[in-house]
């Protein structure tokens, strides 16, 4: 069975997750950062796309946890663009790199999963569950990655913190970028909760049609 997928991100009051330069912007409040730290520690793995690694160079670790207790870090990187110096490869937690089948790039990490011609998300998730027992994944971004999970019908929970700032810019990334949905039907979500966290609000949704 594939892992449970929870997508979590932070966006500005005008629906952007970073600026037009794609550099990180502080959107979360202290209260939200504490929530994310606690949330991360409850998941088997944290997943991002290579765009986020290149733009933000995140550690994706939880303060106070060691190599064995930190969640596994997973990077979707079809063509092997993650530099060896990236913080996700700092050895503070296990890291799994996911590339397309033809990519021959090597890294010093726990595991490299080479998928088909294009990354087959369903197949990769099932392999991660079978090979290393990953039962739950927190997907943290960016917009292309989150969009690909929604398009594949793989999101079980979506939480978004809406912070008190406007970022603007028609080219600023949003929580779900990519090509959009044919016919404009989108993915219908049911609101499951809302919580004020300092100068912003956390919204939690689940798909109207839960996984079969
Ligand atoms: N506010 C927040 O919560 C938050 C969180 C994370 C990131 N961000 C922001 O988001 C921006 C980065 O987002 P992004 O959309 O540019 O990049 P991204 O989603 O991090 O990475 C996108 C890239 O990852 C690969 N990828 C992702 N999903 C794939 C799939 N299903 N199949 C195959 N390849 C896949 C592709 O690599 P290739 O291009 O090599 O094909 C794709 O172009 C940055 O500005 C960052 O600051 C914000």
Average pLDDT over residues 56-77: 97
pLDDT band (50, 70, 90) for residue 186: confident
Q: Whose CA is nearest to atom 11 of ligand 1?
A: 142
- The residues, ordered by sequence, that sit 6+ positions from 210 with a Cβ below 8 Å of its Cβ are 156
Work out the number of other CB atoms within 10 angstroms of the CB of residue 136: 15
| Of residues 181 and 141, more confidently modeled | 141
- For 117-164, the pLDDT digits (tens) are 999 999 999 999 999 999 999 999 999 999 999 999 999 999 999 999
Locus of tokens 């044919």: 182
Going from the Cα of 77 to the center of ligand 1, the distance in angstroms, rounded, reads 9
* Nearest-atom index, ligand 1, CA of 17: 1
pLDDT band (50, 70, 90) for residue 82: very high
Residue of 2, 23, 58, 78 best suited for mutating to test ligand 1, as the one with most atoms within 8 Å of CB: 78
Q: Does the structural domain 4-207 have CATH classification 3.40.430.10?
A: yes
Would residue 54 be called left, alpha or beta, if left means φ above 0 and alpha means ψ between -120 and 50 degrees?
alpha
* Nearest-atom index, ligand 1, CA of 143: 15
pLDDT band (50, 70, 90) for residue 179: confident
pLDDT band (50, 70, 90) for residue 209: confident
Q: Whose CA is nearest to atom 29 of ligand 1?
A: 145
The Cα 133–Cα 127 span in angstroms is: 9
Predicted pLDDT of residue 182 = 60
Predicted pLDDT of residue 210 = 65
Average pLDDT over residues 32-41: 97
pLDDT band (50, 70, 90) for residue 57: very high
The Cα 54–Cα 66 span in angstroms is: 24
- pLDDT at residue 28 tops 80: yes
- Domain spans of the chain, in order of start: 4-207
- pLDDT at residue 56 tops 70: yes
Is 51 touching ligand 1 by the criterion CB < 6 Å?
Answer: yes
Going from the Cα of 56 to the center of ligand 1, the distance in angstroms, rounded, reads 11
Predicted pLDDT of residue 71 = 98
What pTM was computed for the model?
0.97
| CB 123, CB 135: distance < 8 Å | no
HEC string of the chain equals CCCEEEEEEEEECCCCCCCCCCCCCCCCCHHHHHHHHHHHHCCCEEEEEHHHHHHHCCCCCCCCCCCCCCCEEEEECCCCCCCCCCHHHCCCCCEEEEECCCCCCCCCCCEEEECCCCCCHHHHHHHHHHHHCCCEEEEEECHHHHHHHHHCCCCCEEEEEEECCCCCCCCCCCCCCCCCCHHHCCCCEEEEEEEECCCEEEEEEEECCCCC
| Of residues 179 and 125, more confidently modeled | 125
């Amino acid at each position: 069975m594939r892992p449970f997928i929870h997508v979590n991100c932070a966006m500005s009051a005008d629906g952007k997750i970073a600026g037009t330069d794609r550099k990180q912007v502080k959107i979360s409040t202290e209260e939200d950062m504490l929530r994310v730290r606690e949330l991360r520690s409850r998941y088997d793995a944290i997943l991002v796309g290579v765009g986020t690694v290149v733009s933000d160079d995140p550690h994706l670790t939880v303060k106070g946890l060691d190599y064995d207790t930190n969640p596994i870090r997973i990077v979707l990187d079809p063509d092997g663009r993650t530099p060896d110096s990236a913080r996700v490869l700092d050895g503070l937690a296990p890291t799994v790199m996911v590339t397309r089948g033809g990519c021959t790039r090597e890294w010093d990490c726990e595991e490299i999963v080479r998928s088909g011609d294009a990354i087959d998300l369903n197949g990769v998730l099932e392999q991660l569950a079978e090979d290393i027992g990953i039962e739950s994944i927190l997907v943290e971004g960016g917009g292309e990655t989150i969009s690909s999970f929604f398009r594949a019908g793989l999101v079980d929970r979506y939480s978004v913190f809406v912070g008190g700032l406007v970022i603007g810019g028609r080219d600023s990334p949003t929580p779900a970028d990519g090509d959009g949905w044919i016919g404009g039907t989108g993915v219908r979500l049911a609101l499951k909760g809302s919580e004020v966290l300092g100068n912003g609000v956390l919204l939690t949704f689940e798909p109207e049609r839960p996984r079969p």
